[in-house]
Amino acid sequence: MDEVVFLSGLLAAGIRLAAPIALAAIGETLSQRVGVINVGIEGIMLVGAFIAVLLAVQSGSPWIGLLGAILAGIAMASLHAYFVVTLKTEQIVTGIALLFLGLGLSGYGYRLTLGELGAAVKVPGFRELDILGLADLPVIGPILFGQHALVYLAVASAIAMAWMFRATRLGVIIKAVGETPAAADSAGIHVDRVRFLCVLAAGGFAGAGGAFLSTAHLWGFVENMTAGRGFLAIACVVFARWNPVLAVLVALVFGIADAAQIRLQSIFPAVPYQFFVIAPYVVAIVSLAVGSRSSRMPAALGLPFAKPR
Amino acid sequence: MTETGSVPLVALRGVTKRFGDVVANRAVDLEIGRGEVIALVGENGAGKSTIVNMLSGVFPPDEGTIEIDGAATGFTGPAASVEAGIGVVHQHYMLVPTLTALDNIALQASELGLWKIDRRALGDRAGAVAEALGFRFDRDQRIDSLDVAHQQRIEIIKALIHEVRLLVLDEPTAVLGADDKARLFDTISGLKRQGVSVVLITHKLEDIFAVADRAVILRNGAVAADLPVKDLSPETIVTHMVGSDAEARSELEIQPETVHPEHPVGEAVCRVRDVTLRRPNGSVAVSGLSLDLHAGEIVAVAGVDGNGQSEFVHCLAGLQRPDEGEIDCLGLNSRARTWSPARLRRAGVSHIPEDRRHSGIVAEMTLAKNYLLSHLDRPDVFRLGLLRNHHLGQVVDGLLNAFKVRAPGSGALMKTLSGGNQQKIVLARELDGDPKLILATHPSRGLDLNTIAFVHKTLEQTRDAGKAILLLSSDIDEILKIADRIIVFAGGRTFGPAPCRDLTRQTIGAWIAGHEDIEA
């Protein structure tokens, strides 16, 4: 029975750790499907995490914090969109700039505002839900019914996005813009407008992922608290072959790897803990090496679209 | 305004379009009547595609107006053109390869809104259009699994899903085999009966006589002639196309079936023995292929696209190996580890690739650097491992002169040249440096008459200089004109090789269709 409890706890923790990665990965899937790679989502997540804490403290509601984080994510993404879609700059370089901008803005902003108050700040964070009072069920309770609201929202939006890609004309348009923008253009679609809006939406998801980190997973902001999760999200997108539901599942694998390494540290105290900390990143590298062989990325990914003269 | 017969459906009035210093269209007047089929002809760069792009709302004219039903119209974009009842099938199909046929149609159907696509209703609509055209329509096939003829049909269905009054077809026959071409002409005639006007853009004289009512001939961006087809002969069209440029015309000389003089044939440079080739999806494209290529002859490979011709050329170029059997070429063997593009090139195989834009040139590089791509072994362009740019420039400028390439110089970017001039450069590059075997795949596809004549003449001269040439072509006229022997790939087997002079056009046609000779 001990093993079952251990596994149940591991899974529940894995889901908590996976949620911010999953949220960012859902957004990045949308962005890449439309042909824009954003390697700066790490920076967007950091700004989201900071804004969520700031607004939650000031308003007393984590929901206000979440809303602020989403809007901040959209604002950051609009910068990316303006550069890569409108000015047609190199997407990777612009994304890296965005990463450092987010890193600096969030760290500096925190020191200017809440950091001065020291550790005394009390952050009103999200609590796990208890759906239908079933969270106390043995084993499956904490996994299925005792998660944060954002976890359910993430799963729902991934499924909604998959449905959108498959069944709606909007999905067809997005796929066409990321695959053959010239064809979309000749069909009367404003390629750059579609790209711009999708990049904004992706920013909102990354902001929400940051908010989850600082108001649900932990209650507080620490500089560079994302620790590479934005990049793991990009790995999820590629490994999941640009499918939002698969991206959530891959994020779950990373999350479980992360949860496992924390537990393994206490089981094997003799092994230096750094070996365990790298576990999720090793999983990411191995999975990319194995998975990328058969994956086919959107044909116009990373390429700006120039209308014929 | 009343609907009278005298008001044309679409009219261009004094339309001028400039790109920088280049005038693409100069004061073009063009009227398109209802149910009329117009052939828009002209050489590469004569301004045909510019007219298409203005009609489809891609960009507006700089001067002049486009009138629809007599009223001046300013298209704000492609959607406005669709709204006005103009459907366009572009030369490079505007299809998304990873989507299904039906989703590609949905992409254009903005009236469906953004949300759930009612695939059954749309499929029925598209099916009805397809049926009226006599097409078989598989709505769930992905575009990249269809051959070009089927892709073109999807494009036509896509255009006709809306009520279309004018259908513009940009070079629709360039990639089609004879059967598919005939079917396309039937489709055009059917549309005409339904009262749809058609603008057919083409290089090929036979297309004009097959379906068009009226031919509008463009030269240097302006209308050189606008005449009913029944008053035209091939000679008059050519005269209008190339103008009074005597030199240009002398190169054209349309000869009827040329008599094939005997060429002294040298030793075999390449032996192909019992080769089986598979398509990328694993199915057998051709088996039991045996062929010798000799110095001083042109051997044509014919057949409907997709019967293993591309794979065969890829094998000879070292890009793949035969699945069974073997090839001996210039001292290299296809089973040995040395069978690679680099080794074969060094041994004297040069390759004029099928898809110029994809594997023939680098559009963003200069002409000189493009030349260098195939001549990296050339000792005189490097000194101590550094590129001698000045010397390279002189070499390439010399070639530009010899091949009459219209380009500002070797330092120009490849993408600034027209398709015909790009092809000339590929030809110049691949024929330079004493190759022994030249793999020429569709060397004249999509080129204008002048350039085609030039390509043919160059290939013949190269053959007479004792080189072996493998010509991959889907154009029987081209094959009969310059090839010495022909082999046909059809339905997994080969017909021939046989000397061209022993064969009639009918026999070759039967072979391509996969039949033995039709007995008289």
Tokens of B14: 């004094």
Give the pLDDT confidence score for residue A176 in this predicted structure: 92
Contact A186 B88 (CB under 8 A): yes
At residue A204, the pLDDT reads 95
More confident residue, A268 or B42: A268
CA–CA distance, B301 with B310 (Å, rounded to integer): 10
Distance CA B83, CA B60 (A): 16
Enumerate the residues of chain B whose CB falls inside 8 A of the CB of residue A34.
none
Dump pLDDT digits (tens) for B286-305.
888 888 888 888 999 987 77
CA distance A14 to B378: 60
What's the rounded Cα separation, in Å, for the pair B107 and A187? 7
Inter-axis angle of helices B234-242 and B449-464, to 10 degrees?
100
Q: Quote the radius of gyration of chain B (alpha carbons, Å).
A: 24
As a whole number, mean pLDDT of residues B399-415 equals 84
Residue A184 with chain B: CB contacts under 8 Å: 96, 107
Q: Is the pLDDT of residue A223 over 80?
A: yes
User: Which among B59, B78, B96 has CB closest to A180?
Assistant: B96
Give the chain A residue nearest B94 (alpha carbons). A183
Q: How far is B116 from chain A (nearest CA, A)?
A: 4
Confirm whether the ipTM is greater than 0.85.
no
Over 80: is that where the pLDDT of A294 sits?
A: no
CB B87 within 8 A of CB B160: yes
Per the CB < 8 Å rule, is B106 touching A172? Answer: yes
Asked if pLDDT for residue B39 goes beyond 80, the answer is yes
Q: What is the mean pLDDT of residues A240-246?
A: 89
Residues A198 and A192 sit within 8 Å (Cβ to Cβ): no
- Average pLDDT of B422-435? 86
Residue B3: which pLDDT band, with cuts at 50, 70 and 90? very low
* Segment A158-180 mean pLDDT: 92
Q: According to the model, what pLDDT value does residue B5 have? A: 54
Q: Which residue of B has its CA nearest to A177?
A: B96
Per-residue pLDDT of A3-54, as tens digits, reads: 777 778 888 888 888 999 999 999 999 999 999 999 999 999 999 999 999 9
Residue A50: what pLDDT? 93
pLDDT for B261: 56
pLDDT over 50 (residue B29): yes
Q: What is the DSSP string of B436-464?
A: SEEEEESTTTT--HHHHHHHHHHHHHHHH
Share of chain A above pLDDT 90, in %: 41
What is the C-alpha to C-alpha distance for residues B301 and B308, in angstroms, rounded to an integer? 10
Distance from CA of B121 to the nearest CA of A (A): 14
Mean pLDDT is highest, among B73-87, B381-395, B498-512, for B381-395
Contacts of A180 in chain B (CB under 8 A): 94-97
pLDDT for position A265 = 82
Quote the CA–CA distance of B413 and B444 in Å, as a whole number: 22
Q: Which chain B residues touch A if contact means CB-CB below 8 Å?
A: 19, 53, 56, 58-59, 77-80, 82, 88, 90, 92-99, 103-104, 106-110, 112-117
Most confidently predicted of A277-291, A292-306, B227-241, B422-436: B422-436
Is the pLDDT reported for residue B215 higher than 80? yes
Query: B11 to each of B55, B61, B517, how far by Cα in Å?
Result: 10, 13, 49
Of B80, B93, B108, the CB nearest to A187: B108
By Cβ distance, the residue of B59, B79, B103 closest to A172 is B103
- Please compute the mean of the pLDDT values over residues B496-508 and round it to a whole number: 80
- Tracing tokens 């612009």 back to the chain, one arrives at A94
B166 pLDDT tier (thresholds 50, 70, 90) = confident
CB under 8 Å, gap of 24 or more: what pairs does B191-195 form?
B191/B167, B192/B35, B192/B36, B192/B37, B193/B35, B194/B35, B194/B132, B195/B34, B195/B35, B195/B165
- Amino acid identity of residue B243, one-letter, is G
Query: What are the two backbone dihedrals, phi and then psi, of residue A38, each rounded to the nearest 5 degrees?
Result: -125, 95
Q: Which amino acid is at B56?
A: S
Number of Cα atoms under 13 Å in the Cβ half of residue B439? 23
CA–CA gap between residue B349 and residue B469 (Å, rounded): 10
Phi and psi torsions of B355, nearest 5°: -105, 95
B114 and A180 within 8 Å at the Cβ level: the answer is no
Q: What is the tens place of the pLDDT at every residue in B464-495?
A: 888 899 999 877 778 888 888 999 887 778 88
Mean pLDDT of B331-349: 85
- Averaged pLDDT score across all residues of chain B: 80
Q: Give per-residue burial for A251-269: e unless 16+ CB within 10 Å, then b.
A: bbbbbbbbbbbeeebeeee
The reported pLDDT for the residue numbered B191 is: 84
Å between B17 CA and nearest CA of chain A: 11
**What distance in Å separates the CA atoms of residue A193 and residue A199, rounded to the nearest whole number?**
10
CA distances from A49 to A155, B62, B211, B328, B330 (A): 20, 52, 67, 66, 67
Per-residue pLDDT at B247 exceeds 70: no
Estimate the share of chain A in helix, then strand, then coil, as percent rounded to the nearest 5.
75, 0, 25
A187/B94 touch (CB, cutoff 8 Å), yes or no: yes
| Interface test mutation site (partner B, options A175, A180, A198, max chain B beta carbons within 10 A) | A180
Q: Residue B125: which of B113, B137, B107 has the closest Cα?
A: B137
Rounded to 10 degrees, what is the CA torsion of B351, B355, B361, B362? Answer: -140
- Percent of chain B, pLDDT > 90? 1
Does the predicted model carry a pTM greater than 0.90? Answer: no
The Cα–Cα gap between B205 and B212 comes to: 11
Mean pLDDT score, A215-221: 84
Sheet containing B166-170: give its strands across: B86-89, B166-170, B197-202, B37-41, B214-219, B222-228
Mean pLDDT of B249-256: 48
How confident is the model over A187-203, as a mean pLDDT?
A: 91
What CA–CA distance (Å, rounded) separates A41 from A27?
Answer: 9
Does residue B264 have a cis peptide bond before it, meaning omega lies within 30 degrees of 0?
no
Length of chain B: 520
Measured between beta carbons, the chain A residues lying within 8 angstroms of B79 are 188
Buried residues in B97-131 as b, exposed as e (16+ CB within 10 A): bbbbbbbbbbbbbbebeeeebebeebbebbbebbe
The pLDDT value recorded for residue A187 is 82
Query: Which residue in A172, A189, A301 has the most chain B C-beta atoms within 10 A of its own C-beta, making it the best mutation to test that interface?
Result: A172
Structure tokens given for B444: 């004249």
> What's the pLDDT at B91?
77
d(CA B515, CA B511): 5
pLDDT in tens, B149-163: 788 888 888 888 888
pLDDT of residue A38: 92
Q: List the single residue in B98, B108, B110 with the smallest CB-CB distance to A179.
A: B98
Cα A115 from Cα B5, distance rounded (Å): 80
Distance from CA of A159 to the nearest CA of B (A): 15
Closest residue, chain B, to A173 (C-alpha):
B107
Structure tokens at A110: 């925190």
CB B172, CB B101: distance < 8 Å: no
DSSP-assigned letters across all residues of A243-288 = -HHHHHHHHHHHHHHHHHHHHHHHH-TTS-THHHHTHHHHHHHHHH
Percent of chain B with pLDDT over 70: 90
Give B110→chain A minimum CA distance, Å.
8
Q: How confident is the model at residue A261 (pLDDT cuts 50, 70, 90)?
A: confident
Chain A residues within 8 Å of chain B (Cβ atoms): 167-170, 172-173, 175-176, 179-180, 182-189, 299, 307-309
